[in-house]
Every structure is written in structure tokens, then in C-alpha cells.
A and B are shown apart, each in its own frame.
Chain A
Amino acid sequence: MTTNRHDHRTLAEALRRRVLDGPGRTDRATRQAMAERAAGGPAIDAPFDDLARQIGASAAEVTDEQVARVLRSTGSEKAAFEVIAAAALGADLLRWQQGIKALDEATDALA
């Protein structure tokens, strides 16, 4: 596998598509809302809002209770994992896009 520009962008998009648009134990809208909220987007329904916001702001400060509330609401550990993964992905696909945007603007100006 090579790591040229096309590959990282393709791999990032494949990950986004699978986790946010693909099938799962949770509905796509919930995963997408978690991702947007963790990236600084609008508030969503409880108990998801609190966990998504915390994962985006500082995951090291996530509490047992925040995860337990989401687990009770989703009804399964796989479903809770899906929304946690979606939030983590949302926060950092934002970083990926910001980094690539800065790089592209810098290299476009050189071209």
C-alpha cells in the first residue's frame, strides 16, 4: 500500500462513509449527529449531547456515568461503541480537513 495523497484521502473518506453512512446497530442520523456535535456542531438529544460534546472537547474527562447513560439509551454495548466511535471520528475528521485545507492552500499558492 502506498501513502500518496490520494490514498490518505481515500482511506479517510472510506472510514467516514463506513462509520457515518453505513449500516449499524444505531441509525445513521444519530451517528452523524454525534460526529457533528463532537466537531463543535449543534446540540443534540440527551444523553448523547453530553457525551459527544465531552469527547470532542476533552475525551480524557469523559465519565463512567456519561457512557453508562448512553449505554442505557442505546440498549447494547455495540450500539454505544458505534456512537462513541462516531463522535471521535467527527472531532478528528474536522482536524484532517483543516490540515489538508491549509496544505492545499499553501501548495496551490506555490503552483
Chain B
Amino acid sequence: MRLHEIERGDGLFNRLLIGFISLVSRMRLPDAARVAFYHKEFFSSPMGAWTQAAMRGPSPWSVSERELMAALVAKWNSCAFCVGAHGAVAAKEMQRTAVDAALVDFRAAPISERLKATLVFLEILTLRPMELTAEDARAVLHAGVKPEALEDAIAVGAVFSIVTRYADALDFAVPTANEFNRAASLLLKRGYAS
């Protein structure tokens, strides 16, 4: 973590809270959660509200499908922390083998055609946003995805591009696979609102 105040917490209450959660969960509180406690009114509150809506709000996409989208956005942005974190949450409600296959090549993975078509759109959005056209959106709609569902997916893509960008700029510590798995259970249960 490049900004040490985020790691230790700003203010006595947050320092105690970070220490308490780490103690109870018997693992170092992941840096993403530390950011959620930091300078809250400026960033974490409005960011958490949009993230919670995108990832846990009502949607035609299941929670695991949205978590897989997040993991792939992280892969395209080369963010090891977010690939691990969101791949682990996706694998709570989806076969781990399907998650791993999608992270290698989503086009060949055992996932739905509507999800594959949406991931094609999100890949362009993430890597070459200025090349995205209405034709790309029409291809997703023709695959059976409703406009509202595509908008939900665009929100997931945008939110997780933001997350991956500050995770890497701040140099989040990457937990072990076991820690990711334990943190995923908490993220599944508690969501993202800060």
C-alpha cells in the first residue's frame, strides 16, 4: 500500500475497527476494505453506493455473473488483486472450473451465450473504449440481452475499471488463495456499500 494512512486507518475509530475485524476474521483486512473506510465522505460513500447497486442490486444478471464480469475487467486491466478477489466471489455460486476457464478464454468457457456476448462488449469497453459503437451494442441485444441488462453490465464494467485503477495505483497487497476465499464469503454476505 503506497499510502500508509489508508493501511492503518484514518482516525482512532477506523484504526480500532480495522484491528478488530482483522482479529475476528483471523486474516489481514484486505486493502479494498481499508479504502472503503478511508476519507469516506469524499469517495467511498458515493463509490460504494454505485458499486452496491451494480453488484448486488436487482438485475437480470446473477451475483456470480456480475462478479465474473468484474474479474474479467480486472484481468483486462492486469489487476491481480481484483482478479483474485472477484474470481473467488464468482466461484461461491458458480463452478470454480467455469470461472477459471472464463478467465483463460471466456469465449470457450462453459457460460451462457448472452454472458459471452456481453463480455465481448465489456472487453472493448475496457481496452478500446473509443472504438465502441452501436453495432457492438446491437450484437449483444441480438444475443438476447435486454437493454436494461446491458446497462447493468456497463455499470459493472465502469465501476470495476475504477476499482482496478486505484487498486493498482495504491499497490494493494495481494492475499493468498485461502484469504481470498475467506474474504469472498464476507463480500458475498455483506456487499459493497460502505
Contacts of B27 in A (CB 8 A): none
**Residue on B nearest A84 in the bound complex, by CB:** B169
Q: A95 contacts B157, CB within 8 Å?
A: yes
Contacts of A107 in B (CB 8 A): 137, 141, 147
Contacts of A58 in B (CB 8 A): 77-78
Q: B151 contacts A78, CB within 8 Å?
A: no
A93-B158, A103-B151, A109-B134 given; A2·B129 CB < 8 A: no
A82-B42, A95-B129 given; A1·B52 CB < 8 A: yes
**Residue on B nearest A24 in the bound complex, by CB:** B42
Q: Is the interface of B mostly helix, strand, loop or mixed?
A: helix
A15-B47, A94-B129 given; A77·B5 CB < 8 A: yes
Q: A102 contacts B132, CB within 8 Å?
A: yes
Q: Interface code B137-150, partner A: CB below 8 Å = 1, 0 otherwise?
A: 11001000001101
Q: B50 contacts A105, CB within 8 Å?
A: no
Looking at B13-21, B53-61, B178-186, the stretch in contact with chain A turns out to be B53-61
Q: Which of A1, A11, A15, A88 contacts B165 (CB 8 A)?
A: A88
- A106 interfacial by beta-carbon distance below 8 Å: yes
Q: B168 contacts A62, CB within 8 Å?
A: yes
Question: In angstroms, how far is the closest chain B Cβ from the Cβ of A96?
Answer: 4
List of 8 A-B pairs having minimum Cβ-Cβ separation, nearest first:
A105-B134, A99-B154, A106-B137, A96-B158, A3-B57, A88-B165, A59-B168, A11-B50
B residues with CB within 8 A of A: 2-6, 10, 38-39, 42-43, 45-47, 49-50, 52-54, 57-59, 77-79, 121, 125-126, 129-130, 132-138, 141, 147-148, 150-152, 154-155, 157-159, 161-162, 164-171
